[in-house]
Amino acid sequence: MRNKRADSKSKSNKIMSKLGLHDMKLNEHEEIISGEIVWPEDLTVGFEGEDIGGLEPIIDSLKETVIYPLVYPELFESTSSLFGPPKGVLLYGPPGCGKTMLAKALAKESGACFINLHVSTLTEKWFGESQKLVNALFSIAKKLQPTIVFIDEIDAFLRERRSNDHEATSMMKSEFMTLWDGLASGENGRVIILGATNRPTDLDKAILRRMPKRFAIQLPNASQRSKVLQLLLKRINLDPLFNFEDLVSQTHGYSCSDLKELCRNAVMVPVRESIKTIKGDFKNADLRTTKIRPVTVSDFFAHDTNLFDSAVFPDSVDLD
């Protein structure tokens, strides 16, 4: 425990120094939470990235409901609670469709402090420590606002409550929700809880009520797959007869991460062929003159593609 806190303090000092916040005083629990902070400048994914290609309608909605209130609070100043960002946003859908990347892009584009919360950070074996860490999470989020607190696989943390839940777990969840409600009632609070899940129906109904903005991130349709593939392959030497429509039609049911892995395997096919021509004599081979042929559509299916099939996910989920 002592070593963990020493490591947390060291990591916290580095992060706060990087943020230019040398003088900000943090207690020991806030120091632990600060280790989860990712500064926007360190995020490499944006809304134009290949990992979230084809999600323009959702991106536009997120800009209006999340980014604008965070970045331009003066436009949303009002005595009415109807103005301002929602305190909770949920991204749900099958694995590999860009939920995590979309969350990071939100933080990048908004310039908000991004707390990438790992649930294990809050689960302490010492009684009462988890509640203190939850308090520290909301405390530091307010100090560094605008802040996006991202919880991936939020269902594992805030699933529907059961009679056999451990007392400490129940207390931690209750504390989390109480402090979350405090965000909604606070003045000029620019802190958003952003959750992602593959299992939205497992979430506690009380949690869903606190996440009024919900976005279904589904498997990409043909148009979206086309955009993703063109982004992924824009710097690749493709055969003159390369047919994107043919590739799109053969990748129905693929997630964005499936498509990326498919492309990664495909571009290696011509490379492996060239390596075979060298016959292992790399020391004497002039690799600069070794020609690698363009990538063809058939290269994408040179391996068993069944391993890329994503799990079936319903087109609509009733979360009310």
pLDDT tens for the 320 residues of the chain, in order: 555 555 556 666 666 666 666 667 888 888 889 889 988 888 888 887 666 767 888 999 998 888 888 888 877 776 666 666 788 999 999 988 889 989 999 888 888 889 999 988 887 656 678 889 999 999 999 988 889 999 999 988 887 666 556 677 788 888 999 999 888 655 557 899 999 999 999 998 889 999 999 999 989 999 999 999 999 999 999 999 999 999 999 999 999 889 999 999 999 999 988 888 776 666 666 667 678 899 999 999 987 655 555 544 555 566 66
CB atoms within 10 A of CB 108: 21
Instruction: Tell me the CA distances in angstroms from 79 to 68, 83, 142, 145, one per residue in order.
Output: 18, 8, 20, 20
Tokens representing 55 are: 């999600």
Regarding whether 101 and 39 lie in a shared domain, the answer is yes
pTM, two decimals, is 0.80
Tell me 284's DSSP state.
Answer: T
Question: Residue 222 contacts by C-beta under 8 Å, 6 or more apart in sequence?
Answer: 248, 249, 252
311 inside domain: no
Same domain, 73 and 205: yes
Instruction: Assess whether 182 and 112 both reside in one domain.
Output: yes
Which domain range does residue 301 map to? 222-306
Q: Does some domain include residue 15?
A: yes
Domain boundary among 216, 248, 269: 216
The length of the chain in residues reads: 320
- Do 126 and 226 lie in one domain? The reply is no
Rounded CA-CA distance 46/130 in Å is: 33
Structural domain total, the chain = 2
